[in-house]
Amino acid sequence: MSDLAQHDPDKEMRARWEKLKNSSKVWNDHAAAEEFERGLLHPQLARELYTLPSEVFLARAAKEMVLRAIELEKELAKTQQERNEALQRLETSDKELNEVLGDLSEARKQLKEARIRARKADDDLLKSVKELESARAELPKRAIDDYKGSVGFKEGLKRMGQVSYEYGYQVALARFRT
């Protein structure tokens, strides 16, 4: 920075202040003073620009740049630390999410199996109800068939046959006699 060329005092400076020159004094120039008052010109920089030799000014400017660089490095380190913490939280959240998704998948699988078992139980229950209704309908028929096949029923029929034979015989005899 010390290799900067000497400037012509009347040469216009390249800055956003068009009328400001190397030789102009801010406090003597009304337009520059207005910019200074509105804060467009940095007060410390403007004062040093006109009061200090260029080497001191450059050294102080370099010092300010170094201090600003250090400040920015600290801010960068803080930002990186915050980013790393955020990444760790993200990784932890991802792990928890994967665990929850695994649990959800297992729960869905168990739910599907439970639904299958419930459907199968419903089918078995329906089948049992149909068998019960069928058995209730057939039970009187079966009871009658079982009773007809029993020895007591057959003996009763024999006795009834004899009675009806005897009764029929007596009826026939009564007709013949009349």
Chain segment 145-155, per-residue pLDDT in tens:
887 788 877 77
- Asked whether the whole model's pTM tops 0.75, one would answer no
Cβ neighbours of residue 58 under 8 Å, at least 6 residues apart? 1, 2, 4
Nearest to 43 by CA among 28, 58, 26, 57: 26
Q: Which comes out higher in pLDDT, residue 45 or 75?
A: 75
Chain segment 23-65, per-residue pLDDT in tens:
666 556 666 566 555 555 556 666 666 666 677 767 877 888 8
pLDDT of res. 116: 96
Ranges of each domain in the chain:
27-176
